[in-house]
Amino acid sequence: MKPVLLVIAHGSRDPRHAATVHALVRRVRSLRPDVRVETGFLDFNIPSVQGVLESLAAEGVRDVVALPLLLTRAFHAKADIPAVLRDAPPQLRIRQAEVLGPSPLLLSALERRLYEAGLTPADKSSTGVVLASAGSTDPEAIAVIADIAREWRHTGWCAVRPAFASAALPRTEDAVRELRALGCAKVAVAPYVLAPGFLPDRIARGAADADVLAGVLGAAPEVARVLLRRYDAAAARGLLRLTVSA
């Protein structure tokens, strides 16, 4: 029996968030019908992570891979999720998978969204891109976003600048202005976020002076493929009861 895949999303009062998470999970299920996939939310939405874990234990499930639906390894992945998993029913054997990012597949998904928003490959060398993430107080997460921006720049864009909707600078609008000042013929904003919500809406407002605003990553096929790679890697690890942050 393959471990159950429990996708752990943050949750939001914005109904678009849960709808997008469920769309992504449906895509994952279509790619791997041999794997049982469940969804739990840390806050705002149901079912809760704890509720799903209790239901699985009551069914007799023993092995679970808990996958944080997160792009960077910050507070939720390091503290919140391990704390919830430690309170799971004791008969469950749980492995926490790595967060989704960074991954070359996510860069491919970002480009997909930019092209869907109106850019073409011919625009690449003359277009500056703002890599706009939600932001974090965790220095590791901020450094990862900066590293991704540098890596993405080397794939042929005129320039790539990181930006943050909260907790760190620069903001999206500041990065847009910087790229204009650099002389990029076009400026595009690529939200490095998984689902709509309060912070993605702030990114969108900051993109008001950009030429192109891409959609969120959402249920892009590349995101589903990364998710399954993280699941497979965690499922291959030894079965150890989770007692510390993964």
Tens digit of each residue's pLDDT (9 = 90 or more) over 145-171: 999 999 999 999 999 999 999 999 999
pLDDT of residue 75: 83
Question: What is the model's pTM?
Answer: 0.94
- The DSSP letter of residue 185 is S
Residue 245 clears pLDDT 50, i.e. is over it: no
Q: What is the pLDDT of residue 238?
A: 58
d(CA 125, CA 216): 23
- Specify the 3-state DSSP secondary structure of 64: strand
Residue 156's contacts (CB-CB under 8 Å, 6 or more residues apart) are 124, 125
170 near 178, Cβ under 8 Å?
yes
Q: Which helix (H) or strand (E) holds 217?
A: none
Quickly state the pLDDT bin for 31 (edges 50, 70, 90). very high
- Which range, of 67-76, 124-133, 138-147, 237-246, averages the lowest pLDDT? 237-246
Alpha-helix runs per DSSP H in 117-220: 139-153, 172-182, 198-206
Supply the pLDDT for residue 246. 33
Averaged pLDDT, 68-85: 93
**Distance from C-alpha of 87 to C-alpha of 84, rounded to nearest angstrom:** 5
How many CA atoms does the CB half-sphere of 240 hold within 13 Å?
A: 11
